[in-house]
Amino acid sequence: MPVEEAECPQSFSKGESEERCGKVLGENERWATEADMATLRHVADRIPAAAFFVVATEFCERFTYYGITGPFQNYIQNGYRVPGSRPGAIGGGQHLATGLSNFFQFWCYVTPILGAIVADQWLGKFKTILVFSLVYIVGDLILTLTSIPPAIRAGAALPGLATAMVTIGLATGGVKSSVSPMVAEQYTCTRPFVRRLKSGREVLVDRELTMQSVFNWFYWAINVGALSAIATTELEANVDFWPAFLLPTLMFVVCLSVFWMGRRRYVITQPTGSVVVRAYRVLAAGVRNSRAARAQGRVVLDDDGEPVHWLSYAKPSLCPDGAQLGWSDRFVDELRVALRSCKIFLCYPVFWLCYGQMSNNMISQSGQMNTGRVPNDIMQNIDPLCIIVLIPLFDKVVYPAFRRCGMELRPVVRITCGFLIAALAMAYAAIVQHLIYSTGPYYKTAGDDGHGFNDISAAIQVPGYVLLAVAEIFASVTGLEYAYKQAPESMRSIVMSLFLFTNAGGSVLAFCFNGIAANPHLVENFSIVAGLMGAFTVLFYLCFRHYDARDAREASRSVELERAEKPAPSEAA
C-alpha cells in the first residue's frame, strides 16, 4: 500500500514519522506485531546507498594502509640491494622489523580514542574523517619521499619511516574511530517491520540482522582493500620501494574524493560533547558515593529488593547535590551499559596477538621457505582473499542456514569460535616452523644475514592463513558489530575506539614476545601464542556465555517498551 502518515505509530506527519521511526513504510510493508516477531522468518534489510559511500571510503583507506604496511617487514629487516637476499632498505634485522611493526600497530589503535574525542567534542564524524585524511596524505608523502634510492643511501629511510609511522598512525586513529560508527548510522530504521515479497510470502526485517550484514560487508571492503599488498609487494620485488609506497599514496587521494562525493547523502550526527571527561567524573562519583552509602548504612535497593549497582549512586536522583552534577540519571544508565558491553573486549588483545603474527613473524617464516617467483611477503594476502570469498558465504548461506535450523549463532558463540580457530592457526604455524627447522640446507638459520631458504614450499602456510581468515569473520566482524549495537547512541564513537584499542593491547603483548620472535625460537613463539589463545578462549566462554541470552531478553524487552510507547494504529484501534 502507498505511504500514509498513519502508517507510523500515532498520528505523526511524514517528516515526524521519519524522525521518530527512522523509516517511512513503502508498498508491501507494515509495522511488525508480536505475532510477526515470533512466527515470521527474520531477514536483513537493504543497505542504504549512503552506507556504500562510507564503505568505499574504508576500502580506499585500507588499500592505503595495507599497501604501505605490506612491504614493511622486508623494508626494515633486510639491507638495500644485498646480493642473494630478499628486497630491503634499512637492514635492521627481524627483531627491529617485528618491533617497529608492533609499535606501528600499537600506535594506530591507540589514536582512535583521540579521534573519538575530537569527533564527539568538536568536529563530528564527517569533518573528523576529512581532517585526518589530509594528515594521512602527509604521512604517505613522507614515507614515499624517504624511500627513493638517494634517500635510502643517505640514511633517511629509518627516520623517514619513523616520522611516517607516527603521522599515519595518528591519521588512522582519526579515520577509524569515526568511519565504522558512521557506516552503521546510515541505516536509521529502529523498529522491526514486515515486508511482503514478490512471491507473496511475508518476512520480518530485523535491525539486528541488518547491522550484522552491514558490518559483514564493511569488513569485506576492508579485506578487498587489503589486497593492495599484492601490488605493492610485487612493486617492491620487481621495481623498488618508492613506487610501492607511491601507489597507496595516490589511492588515498581517491579515498578523500569518494568520501566527499557522498556528502549530500549521509546521515550526519552533530558533535554533542565528549563523554570521556563526564564519564570519568561519573565513575569517580559512583565509587565515592557507594562507599559512603555502605559506610553510613544507606544502601539503596532496586525494584527486586537487591542493592543497586555501585554506579547508580552517581545518579543525580540519589545525590543530595544532584542538580549541580552536570549529568542526568539517563547518562549514568548509558555509561553502565557501555561499561558492561566493554567487558567482552577484555580477551581480544590475545586474539590480536595471534592476528599480528600474520604481518611480521609469518612473513619472515615464508622468507625461510621456497616461494618460487613470488615475493615472500605476498603470502599474507591469502587471508584477505579468503575473507572476500567467505564473508558473502557466511552472510548469505552459513548464518541463515543456522537460523533456519533454529540455532542462532549469537555474538558470544561466534566470538568463541573465532578465538578457538585463531588458537588452531597458531598451533599450525608452530608445526610449519618445526618442519622448516627440520629441513636443510640452512635449518635454523634460514633467512638470516643473507642466507637463503630451506627446501620446503611456502604453500604449506596456506591452511594457517585460511584458519586466520575464518577466525577474523567470527571474532573481529562480530566484535565491531557488538561494539556498535551495545553502545548507547551518545557513546558509540568512544566504545568503538575502545574495541579498536584492544588491538593496541595485542601489540603490547607482542612486545613481550620480541625476544623469541626470531630464529631459532620461532617454534616456541608460535606455540606459546597458541596456548595463550586457547586458555583465553575457555576463559572468555566461561565468563560471558550468559551474555547471549541476556542480550536477547533485553532486545525483546526493548521492542515491547517501544511498542507500548508508540502503538501501531491497528493496535490503538
- Out of 285, 304, 327, pick the residue that ends a domain: 327
Within this chain, do residues 304 and 406 fall inside the same structural domain, yes or no?
no
Q: What is the reported pLDDT for 337?
A: 80
Shared domain check, 322 and 355:
no
DSSP state of 188: -
Q: Are residues 162 and 109 in the same domain?
A: yes
Q: How many CB atoms lie within 10 A of CB 444?
A: 16
Q: What is the pLDDT of residue 450?
A: 57
Q: What are the residues whose beta carbons fall under 8 Å from the beta carbon of 395, sequence distance 6 or more? A: 212, 213, 216, 217
Whole-angstrom distance, CA of residue 360 vs CA of residue 98: 6
Q: Which amino acid is at 436?
A: I
Grid coordinates of 439: 629441513
Same-domain check for residues 440 and 301: no
Residues 230 and 353 in one domain: yes
Q: Is residue 1 part of a domain?
A: no
The span from the CA of 5 to the CA of 3, in Å, is: 7
Residue 34 burial (CB count, 10 A): 12
For the residues of 403-414, what is the DSSP string, one character each? HHTT----HHHH
Structural domain total, the chain: 2
Taking residue 474's Cβ as centre, other Cβ atoms within 10 Å add up to 22
414 shares its domain with 438: yes
Q: Contact at 8 Å (CB) between 143 and 159?
A: no
Residue 31 has φ and ψ, to the nearest 5°, of: -70, 145
CATH code for position 527: 1.20.1250.20
**Whether 414 and 284 share a structural domain:** no
Cα(158)–Cα(143) distance, integer angstroms: 10
The parent domain of residue 528 ranges over: 45-80+87-268+335-564
Number of H helices, E strands in the chain: 23, 4
Number of residues that this document lists for the chain: 573
Considering the domain architecture, whether residues 407 and 516 belong to the same structural domain is answered as yes
Q: Same structural domain for residues 407 and 548?
A: yes
Last residue of a domain, one of 327, 348, 366: 327
- Describe the strand order of the beta sheet including 193-196 as a list of residue ranges: 29-31, 193-196, 202-205, 42-43
Q: How far apart are CA 48 and CA 27, in angstroms?
A: 17
What pLDDT is recorded for position 522? 93
What integer pLDDT is reported at residue 447 of this predicted model? Answer: 77
Are residue 360 and residue 322 in the same domain, yes or no? no
**Residue 194 within a domain:** yes
CA distance 74 to 295: 61
The answer as to whether 8 is a domain residue is no
pLDDT averaged over 10-residue windows placed end to end, the chain, 573 residues: 37 44 82 89 90 90 93 92 84 89 91 87 90 94 96 95 96 89 88 91 91 88 91 92 96 89 88 75 88 85 80 84 73 83 90 90 90 86 91 88 84 95 97 94 80 88 95 90 76 77 89 86 95 97 87 65 51 39
**Cα angle: 351, vertex 357, 360; to 5 degrees:** 150
- Residue written as grid cell 575457555: 538
Pull the grid cell for residue 132.
Answer: 585526518
For residue 322, the model assigns a pLDDT of 56
296 and 152 inside one domain: no
Beta partners for 42?
204
pLDDT value for 551: 73
Q: Provide the sign of the torsion angle of the four alpha carbons 114, 120, 126, 128, taken in this order.
A: negative
Stated pTM of the model: 0.77
Same domain, 54 and 185: yes
